[in-house]
Each structure stands twice: as C-alpha cells, then as structure tokens.
Structure 1
Amino acid sequence: MKFLRKKRVLLLLFLGFVVILFFNTNWMSWFYPIHYKENIREQAERYDVDPFLVASIIRVESNYKLGKESKKGALGLMQLMPDTANWAMEKAKLPEVTLDHIKHEPEASIEIGTWYLKTLSEQFKGNRIAVIAAYNAGPGKVDGWLKRGVWDGTYDSVKNIPIGETRHYVQRVIYYYNQYTRIYSEF
C-alpha cells in the first residue's frame, strides 16, 4: 500500500513538473525551430524583408539543411537555381560570393535569397503571396498569371495557381509563416 502511495506521489510530482514546464516555456518552438536567426535577422534588416518570411522559405526549401542541392540543381538553404543566384550576385554587386558559398555557407545563401525576396517584393508591389509564388515558379510566370487574370495574387484564390507545386509551396510557406509569427513574439 505504501508502495502505491509513493508511486502516486511521484506521478503527481512528475505531472506537476510537466505542467510547469509546459506553461513556463515556449514549447511550440521545439516543433518549429528557427535556425540561423542572427543571419536571417541581419539580412532581413539590411534588405527590409520580413524575417519570418525568410525563415518560412528556408524551412520549406531546405528545412535548414546546409549544403542541400535539389534534383533540379537549386542550391543552399534558400534553394536558389544557379542562374538566378548568378543573376542576383551580379545585380546585388556581391562579387565575393560564389555558388559554392551559397551552397555551403548560411550567410551567403541567406543574403542572396533575401536580396532576391526584396527584388520580388518590389516587382510585385509588396504582395507577399505573389512574392512567394514567384520565388517558386519564377516572376515571369506569376506576372503572366496576374496579367491574364488566371490568378489574382491572393491567398484566398491560391487554388487558381496553374502549377500544383507552386500552389502547394505557397500554402506551406504561409503555414510556417503563421506558425512562426504566432510562436515567436519577436525575431
């Protein structure tokens, strides 16, 4: 009988500890971590881009795995295609950055990717949903969809995006964006 009482007391103590831990920590951040926060924060401030958007794109593109190369050849944390990365490095005047840097160094990948997001944001007049779609499908395709009225650039009509991969991509980025902004009070 005493043995069972001891087990109950231990169980209550353990449950109390778990409840205290649950309410005193941001436990959801365990499921939605943001890696490379300093790099993301620095580049987001530099290029005036929402850091949660950068983090969400990294999460969907590479899940924060450095050195990743996609089947199509996209490189780095932000998974830029080599042609896009070369164009961005030239336009952003970053001659010291190479494709190898983008693939293996988080700072370079985040800088080029964030610069590209800034450029897309300017092109699509701050329409975050169109920017996300353009990051995946390319700005030419998204611009064409908008001009032809195929898609109106809103999240509510994301089902009208003609490419399934891009439709799903936008939904995933927005999902992580909403999770990050809900979990983290500030970046």
Structure 2
Amino acid sequence: MKKIRKVLLTVLILLLIAALCGFFLARRYLPLRHGELIDRYAAEYDLPASLVAAVIRTESSFRADAKSRKGAMGLMQLTPETFWWLQFKLREPEEPNLDVLYDPETNIRYGCYNLALLFNEFEDERTALAAYNAGRSRVRGWLADSRYSDDGVTLKRIPYPETDRYVRKISLYRLCYRILYRL
C-alpha cells in the first residue's frame, strides 16, 4: 500500500510540475523513447500507444538492455520461452540467438503481439495486464477462484501484491503518457 501511495504521490507531483513549469521535467522523468516503433506496433496489434509506453516504462524504464533475475529481456521484458512461443504462433522460424530481444523493434513487436493475445484471451485490461506480469495460467486460476473473481472474466482482487502494484503502476503511467505525449 505504501508503494502505491508513493507512486500516486509521484504522479500527482509530476502533474503539478507539468502544469506549473511545463512538461520538461515530467517528460524527463517519464521519457518516451522509440515512439515510432510504439506507434507502429500498437496500431498493428490494435493497442493504445499509451498502454504500450506504460508497459515499457514499468518493465524496463526504456532500457533496451534490461534483463530481469528471471531471465526476461529487453524493453518489454520477454522471456526466451515467451519469445519462442510467439514465434511459433506467428509461424516464424525459431530464432536461436536471444540477443535479438535486446533489439527495440523486435522486442516491441513481440511484446505488443503478446499483449494483444492477452487482451483477446482475457478481455478485461486489468486481467490482461495481470497475466502479462504473473502468467496466463496463474490468472486463469485466479479467475476460477471466487475469492478473486465473481464472474470468471474480471479480477475483483489480485492476490499477488507485486502484480497488483504492477497493474496499478501501468494505469497511472498510461494516464501520464496520454497527458504528456498525447498518446
């Protein structure tokens, strides 16, 4: 709860700074890099560009060379397994060289495709974002559990604090990207 308050306070301060001092400082804290690639692949996969930018900001802070402790790589933090599965879904030959996940275009393209598949599967934005963070099968389990979902389609509560913070953070960053960059 403290981290959520901290993020909310940060966002409110950024919006105040933007209103009083212009967008310069806020844009410095929330940069938008690879905007052309984000626009292209968000449009190709029918996603809001502000959402893609918010996912990238949350996942890697726009660092193309980011690598997580769990082996997720690049801007949108794709694991090798997810990358290979997406290549299979797209009927593309499997790329054995995982360094391509550090290429912004490759990472954004496959990350957007993965998000689009999750949105098609789960319909609800919060649920799809929870699946991007925690995994499809885990979210399916939450949807089947009446403690977390009333209708089997949307999550009324996300049981993992890390995933709950992740989803809230993306929502806040998405709003900021809409305002700061008119995405």
Q: TM-score scaled by structure 1?
A: 0.78
Whole-Å Cα distance in 2 between the matches of residues 75 and 24 of structure 1? 36
Amino acid aligned to 2:135: G
Instruction: Please state if 1:80 is matched with 2:78.
Output: yes
Aligned-residue CA RMSD (Å): 2.1
Whole-Å Cα distance in 1 between the matches of residues 90 and 178 of structure 2? 28
Instruction: Please state if 1:146 is matched with 2:127.
Output: no
Displacement of 1:94 in angstroms is 3.5
Answer with 1 or 2: which has the greater Rg: 1
The size of the alignment, in residue pairs, is 160
Displacement of 1:68 in angstroms is 1.4
Provide the residue aligned with 1:116 in structure 2: 114
Secondary structure of 2:50 counterpart: helix
Instruction: Please state if 1:56 is matched with 2:49.
Output: no
Q: 4+ residue stretches of structure 1 with deviation over 6 A?
A: none
Provide the residue aligned with 2:132 in structure 1: 135
Instruction: Please state if 1:166 is matched with 2:174.
Output: no
Deviations along 1:93-115, one digit per CA (max 9) or x if unpaired, are 3337552211x200000000000
Amino acid aligned to 2:141: G
Provide the residue aligned with 2:35 in structure 1: 37
Structure 2 residue runs of 5 or longer lacking an equivalent are 1-18
Amino acid aligned to 2:109: E
The percent of aligned pairs where both chains have the same amino acid is 35
Provide the residue aligned with 2:13 in structure 1: none
Provide the residue aligned with 1:101 in structure 2: 100
On the 8 A contact 2:30/2:57 being kept in 1, the answer is: no
Provide the residue aligned with 1:17 in structure 2: none
On the 8 A contact 1:69/1:76 being kept in 2, the answer is: yes
Q: Which has the higher contact order (CA 8 A, sep 6+)?
A: 2
Secondary structure of 1:48 counterpart: coil
Displacement of 1:148 in angstroms is 1.6
Displacement of 1:25 in angstroms is 4.9
Provide the residue aligned with 2:177 in structure 1: 180
On the 8 A contact 1:67/1:75 being kept in 2, the answer is: yes
On the 8 A contact 1:150/1:161 being kept in 2, the answer is: no
Whole-Å Cα distance in 1 between the matches of residues 74 and 169 of structure 2? 19
Displacement of 1:82 in angstroms is 1.2
Q: Cα gap change, 1:24/1:172 in structure 2, threshold over 3 Å: closer, same or farther?
A: closer
On the 8 A contact 1:161/1:167 being kept in 2, the answer is: yes
Amino acid aligned to 2:23: N
Amino acid aligned to 1:84: T
Provide the residue aligned with 2:4 in structure 1: none
